[in-house]
Amino acid sequence: MEKRQIQDTELWVSPFGLGTADAGVGWKEEETDRIIGSYLELGGNVVDTAHVYSDWVPPEISRSERIIGDWLAKSKKRNEIVLVTKGGHPSMLGENPDMHQSRMRREDMIKDLDGSLIKLRTDHIDLYFYHRDDPGIPVEETIEVMEEFVKQGKIRYYGCSNWTPRRMAEADRYCKEKGCRGFTADQMLFNYGTEYMNPMADDTLCTMDDEMYAYHKANSRNLAMPYMGIASGFFHSYEKKGADAVKESPYYTEKNMQRIKRLEMLKEKYNANTTQILLGFFTVQDFYCLPLYGTGKPERMKEAADAFSIAFERKDFLEL
């Protein structure tokens, strides 16, 4: 896979990032070297985790970071990857976590970042994200916290996840006034099925709506890094098990049923599988996207990588 430089940075990144929320849960810890190794062999280099992954599965907290850190220590391949992690997420411990309980104050971010550095066994993070936003905190304060981390050498660049276009624009203006780089990337919910999906149960997630799409089209310095790139397996589950298997999914709408039919046509046209069409969707947007994709099966990693060598036509997705 051919790497591309993120604008105004020293980071060269592969077409998709390896999501690791399932490390030690969806795939066994002992498979880590085989999974990340196959990703690197295919030309991938963006490994994405978060301090909160996967606290919702007791008893271990920050499991994903710890597993990635163990792999980094054993493999000695820290310099081969762009290491991405996130802090400031509401606590996921206990029953019914409150997703609206802000953890974005300076002291929260210091605690999370220092914890991430320990778990990941590294002295710096290449790209560090605010995992959520708190509109009650002035954007100037949030930026200064990240700038402090940069000056300390703990992070190289920073980004945001689940921020509204308005708040990102506020941050952009402040950074321009201060003469600092500002947000390098933005993670949001975006995929082949988001346009017509029902609202997610977690309303703190930000989706790529028309306003956000216009923001990214006009702001190429803030790389769009979509998560849930293959719609949480919705289209795959429908394909394998039928409608009854996905009726409870927020993606189960009349419009997305129509998209399933279109998906089948595109698979035939490009001699591609479902994963490749879903990832191909990102290659025809008005701005560069670096989707995140997680799998515990190396053969699926190869399928994902091959998607970026297919010359998808924009009109196929515009006609949806």
Active site residue ranges: 53
Q: Do β-strands 125-130 and 183-187 pair in parallel, antiparallel, or remain unpaired? A: unpaired
Coil, strand or helix: which one is 176?
helix
Residue closest to 190 by CA, chosen among 239, 223, 156, 144? 223
Strand partners, 224: 186, 289
3-state SS track over 287-298 = CCECCEECCCCH
Sequence-separated (6 or more) residues with CB below 8 Å from residue 89: 50, 51, 52, 103, 112, 131, 132
Coil, strand or helix: which one is 231?
helix
Expressed in percent and rounded to 5, the helix, strand and coil fractions of the chain are 45, 15, 40
